[in-house]
Structure 1
Amino acid sequence: MAIQKGKDLLVKIADGAGGFVTVAGLRSRSLSFNAEPVDVTHSESAGRWRELLAGAGVKKASVAGAGVFKDDASDTLVRGLVFDGAIAAFQIVIPDFGRIEGPFQVTGLEFKGDHAGEVAYDLALESAGALSFTAL
């Protein structure tokens, strides 16, 4: 994978018409994957080293982003998810690598603004089911 522009890492939300729309105004975005280990260490573990059970822990993905507020279709979709507590399909496009797609819940939406600046927001998503990966 060659060096890519950070602005090409996209967070998209299902638009309700079978497509996806890019979440508007994001200036920074991040995607992280985590798997909780299941410790199965016992008194006869070799050298008393910790042993983990493969494939047994909970897997999750977290998305975070921050940007400027724009009265756009994607902002309306995200705000609706927050107020409804709903789960929606999202896509995260990693340039020259692949596309992650699946259900996410908006777990944080924070608006902030300075007196002499623009309104900005922070967004947090947590995976809410199985995710798929498609190589680009």
Structure 2
Amino acid sequence: MVAQKGRDLLLKIDNGAGFATVAGLRSKRLSFNAQLVDVTDAESAGRWRELLGGAGVQRAAVSGSGIFKDQASDATVRSLFFGSTIVHWQVVIPDFGTVEGPFQIAALEYSGAHDGEIVFEIALESAGVLTFGAL
């Protein structure tokens, strides 16, 4: 994969009629994590840590920040947060693939300086099985 434009990494939400891009995001981040299960005991060779493969909990986190471009995007995100609603989201990674699945908004922050625009930050946490589709 050659270098890609950061703006082409897209965060989309299932609005019932398909996936709509969350407008105004200037930065986005997708991270995958796995909880490790340590099974080291007194008989572990050389006192090296031993892990139990396939036993940990996997999760994904998505975060982004930017400006709201329209009232519809703001209203949708705000209602999902205050309703603690889990919905289907999609992250598009250009020339790589898409990651889709249920996420819940874990954090929503608004800020603004006296000489600038209002910006928001959003954090999503996976809430079930995610799928990957190659582009």
Q: TM-score, normalised by structure 1?
A: 0.96
Equivalent pairs, count:
135
User: Are residues 1:76 and 2:75 paired?
Assistant: yes
- Is this contact kept in 2: 1:24–1:72, CA < 8 A? no
User: Are residues 1:12 and 2:27 paired?
Assistant: no
- Is this contact kept in 2: 1:109–1:121, CA < 8 A? yes
1:125 match: 124
Whichever residue aligns with residue 67 of structure 1, its letter is G
Unpaired runs of 5+ in structure 1?
Answer: none
1:87 match: 86
Match runs of 1:62-73 below 5 Å: 62-73=61-72
- Identity in percent: 64
1:53 match: 52
Q: Secondary structure at the match of 1:74?
A: helix
- Is this contact kept in 2: 1:93–1:100, CA < 8 A? yes
CA distance in 1, matches of 2:16, 2:82: 17
Q: Secondary structure at the match of 2:49?
A: coil
Superposition CA RMSD, Å: 0.9
Whichever residue aligns with residue 5 of structure 2, its letter is K
2:22 match: 23
Whichever residue aligns with residue 49 of structure 1, its letter is W
Q: TM-score, normalised by structure 2?
A: 0.97
Match runs of 1:98-109 below 5 Å: 98-109=97-108
CA distance in 1, matches of 2:32, 2:99: 11
- Is this contact kept in 2: 1:13–1:74, CA < 8 A? no
User: Bigger CA drift: 22-31 or 74-83?
Assistant: 74-83
Unpaired runs of 5+ in structure 2?
Answer: none
CA distance in 1, matches of 2:71, 2:128: 27
